Chain A
Amino acid sequence: MYDTLTVEKKHDGDQCTIYVSGVLDYSTMDPFNEEIEALHHGVNNVTINFESLEFIDSTGIGAIINLVHEANDKQFKVELEGINDDMQDLFETIGVFQILDSLQ
């Protein structure tokens, strides 16, 4: 059995919300990266919704961090929502929120 990731993107004006469900890891990254690369130039706010995410590994976290750095370079905002307790602990330990706070 293989892990899978489903990515759904919803636009509302300059706001784009990306809903990720399943597993965001080394083996499932491609759909997420494709959606990030396809973000429109007019987007000023990107929200990643993790409510239906079951697991994220270091490669998945790396993609989120890269998005935050890209947002800093291109002057748009990134928000993370729907984070469960395990993910909250993981992001705090690794320093994801420190990067968000520092760059935005």
Chain B
Amino acid sequence: MFHRNMRFDEDTSNEAKNKTLEREIKLARTIQMRLLNGNEPDIENGSVTGVSIPARLIGGDYYDFYLLPNGKVRIILGDVMGKGIPAAMLMILTRGAFRSAAETTKGPAETLTAMNHAMYNDLRTLGSFVTVICVDWCPNTKELTYASAGHDLPILVQADQTIRELPTNKGVMIGGLEDATYHDGSVTLEEHDLLFFYTDGITEAQDEEGDMFRIDRLRQVLIDHCHESVNDVQEAVTQALTSFTGNIQQKDDITMVLLQVNDGEADISSYNSPVL
């Protein structure tokens, strides 16, 4: 009887703990989603959208838009090592470092250098890192300036449905080297060019046989839909992934950001864009 009561108390206690934990995780998810969902950026001559789909309740992927006083928009997309709550905590750290750096730096390379400087000691202490791609887009000149800290460059699909390779620009991940420096590359985009930023949760999504979605399938989806709106292209990629993976549970966070050059149009939409 005594033991049975003890078991009952223990079960009740565990149940209460689980409920508390569940509630706190949901609150953490709410915080993360509120930080990611906010006012939409208002840019000229282009359309942007983005979405992040965590593999678990909360995730470690991150994207952000930051309007600069000179009329450019700074876009960042990042992937924190690991998954779930630990990655989500570092994602918030990354967001703070980017917001702080974006205010005081002149370009993507400077932004990444400042972020690495701010985050290096914490990331080394935790044995973690973040890969990041950062670009400045000028709606007037159509110039795209970009720098990478260990992240894949975006895919550029042109109006004639061909892929234009961006000149290579490789930098070490944030948290890899204390004195890491980065350099800017730049290209001039053309009317109706589509720029697609992504995390490896897309290219490494697996089907029931364990095959990965890979970059070639992603490129083909983008080529097939590049004349559609950014929201429709985003939906096409999401649908292609859903169709490919079937009943297989999502293993990694999936995040994409799209920028399309549209002269004279200002069609901004993002159902998961961060607060500006």
Contacts and interface: CB of A to CB of B under 8 A. Distances in A.
Contact of A26 (B82, B131, B172, B204): B82
A68 to B, nearest CB: 9
Contacts of B151: 93
Given A95-B176, A102-B177, A62 B82 contact: yes
B82 A58 contact: yes
Nearest to A60: B81
Contact of A94 (B83, B173, B180, B204): B173
A62 B152 CA distance: 17
Interface string A55-95: 00111011001100100000000000000000000001111
The interface residues of chain A, by DSSP majority, are classed as: helix
A98 interface: yes
Interface size, B (range): 20 to 34
Interface in B55-114: 79, 81-83
A62 B83 contact: no
B170 interface: yes
Given A58-B131, A62-B127, A99-B172, A93 B81 contact: no
A93 B176 contact: no
Contacts of A92: 170
B213 interface: no
Contacts of B150: 93-95
Interface of B: 79, 81-83, 124, 127-129, 131, 148-152, 170-173, 176-177, 180, 200, 204, 252
Nearest to B175: A65
Interface of A: 26, 57-59, 61-62, 65-66, 69, 92-95, 98-99, 102-103
B82 A98 contact: no
Q: Which 6 A-B pairs have the closest CB atoms?
A: A95-B172, A94-B150, A58-B81, A98-B172, A62-B81, A66-B127
A95 B173 contact: yes
A62 B79 CA distance: 13
5 contacts: A58-B79, A58-B131, A62-B127, A62-B129, A99-B176
Contacts of B152: 93
Contacts of A57: 204, 252
Contacts of A26: 82-83
Given A93-B150, A93-B151, A99-B177, A69 B170 contact: no
A82 B112 CA distance: 32
A78 to B, nearest CB: 14
B82 A95 contact: no
